[in-house]
């Protein structure tokens, strides 16, 4: 298969690969799957000079692979930070809302459409709270531990 890319499309592909690697490396993928993804990324990174993108890619003599360099990381880490921030609040709101709905209904109760609607309403309440106050109003109660630690 032959794929033709413009320089801009290649640079966009580098961004997608970098972000994909970031997610894959932070996941529970087995080592073989990660190595397979890395081999594909290496193949694409190796074309950087041909596409005028060698300002974002470097070859590691020691490792024998191409990878994103510091300039690419600096360009993309703000995007990753923004994603992490948004994901944090979304996941936290969802988990807390789910906990509340399941606790109110009972652990053994089958999750119904009505419970799902309550979940989304409760999640929205958490989102509004976090938007206004961040974590300032969040308190954890530890049971069974020693106080003062």
Place of tokens 């929205």: 124
| pLDDT in single tens digits along all 149 residues of the chain | 899 999 999 999 999 999 999 998 888 889 899 889 999 999 999 999 999 999 999 999 998 999 999 999 999 999 999 999 999 999 999 999 999 999 998 888 888 999 999 999 999 999 999 999 999 999 988 887 665 55
Residue 147, both tokens = 């106080």
Place of tokens 């089958």: 110
| Displacement of CA 123 from its chain's centroid (Å) | 20
Using the Cα atoms of residue 53, residue 58, residue 64 and residue 67 in order, give the sign of their dihedral.
negative
Q: What is the pLDDT of residues 57-85, one digit of tens each?
A: 999 999 899 999 999 999 999 999 999 99
pLDDT of res. 26:
85
Instruction: Count the neighbouring beta carbons within 10 Å of the beta carbon of residue 18.
Output: 22
Whole-angstrom distance, CA of residue 98 vs CA of residue 81? 25
Environment class of 14 (CB within 10 Å of its CB; exposed 0-12, middle 13-18, buried 19+)? buried
pTM for the structure as a whole:
0.78
Whole-angstrom distance, CA of residue 115 vs CA of residue 97? 10
Place of tokens 């413009």: 6
Residue 136, both tokens = 């300032």
Q: What are phi and psi of 127, to 5 degrees?
A: -60, -45
């Amino acid at each position: 298969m032959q794929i033709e890319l413009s320089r801009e499309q290649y640079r966009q592909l580098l961004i997608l690969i970098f972000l994909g690697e970031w997610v894959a490396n932070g996941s529970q993928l087995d080592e073989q799957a990660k190595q397979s993804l890395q081999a594909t990324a290496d193949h694409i990174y190796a074309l950087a000079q041909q596409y005028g993108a060698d300002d974002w890619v470097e070859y590691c003599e020691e490792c024998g692979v191409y990878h994103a360099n510091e300039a690419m990381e600096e360009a993309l880490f703000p995007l990753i930070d923004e994603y992490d921030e948004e994901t944090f609040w979304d996941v936290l709101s969802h988990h807390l809302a789910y906990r509340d709905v399941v606790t109110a209904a009972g652990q053994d109760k089958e999750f119904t459409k009505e419970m799902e609607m309550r979940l989304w309403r409760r999640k929205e309440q958490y989102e509004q709270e976090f938007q206004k106050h961040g974590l300032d109003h969040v308190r954890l109660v530890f049971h069974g531990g020693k106080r003062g630690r």
